[in-house]
């Protein structure tokens, strides 16, 4: 049976690429049975979402953003505390 042209399904083209990874990443991926094609696909999806392509936004990205914000808040809180201590020392020295 020969299908009409519009019903034929052709394989989709893929682009082959080569990347270099550190020995540590290679060993961890092998140990955790992570396929490199999956890792690249997931990593690219995260980067796409971070750059504003909303169709790639997902819960993992939301968690990453939340963790980044928590880290920024902690850093700012530490800076505020250091500034308070410097301010208190300056006031104390001025009174002496």
Percent of the chain's residues with pLDDT above 70: 84
Q: State residue 11's pLDDT score.
A: 62
Domain ranges of the chain: 23-95
d(CA 32, CA 37): 14
pTM > 0.85: no
Task: Round to the nearest angstrom and report the end-to-end CA distance of the chain.
Answer: 100
Structure letter (DSSP) for residue 10: -
pLDDT tens string 2-34: 656 666 666 666 788 888 999 999 999 999 999
- pLDDT tens digits for range 61-73: 778 788 889 999 9
**pLDDT for residue 24:** 96
The answer, yes or no, to whether residue 82 has pLDDT greater than 70, is yes
How far apart are the C-alpha atoms of 30 and 71, rounded to whole Å?
30
Q: Tell me the C-alpha to C-alpha distance, in Å, between residue 49 and each of 1, 15, 66, 76, 89.
A: 45, 21, 14, 26, 46
């Amino acid at each position: 049976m020969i299908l009409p042209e519009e019903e034929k399904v052709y394989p989709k083209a893929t682009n082959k690429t080569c990347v270099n990874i550190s020995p540590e990443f290679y060993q961890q991926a092998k140990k955790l049975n992570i396929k490199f094609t999956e890792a690249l696909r997931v990593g690219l999806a995260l980067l796409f979402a971070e750059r504003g392509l909303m169709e790639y936004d997902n819960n993992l990205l939301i968690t990453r953003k939340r963790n980044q914000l928590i880290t920024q808040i902690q850093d700012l809180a530490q800076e505020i505390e250091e500034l308070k201590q410097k301010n208190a020392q300056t006031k104390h020295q001025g009174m002496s």
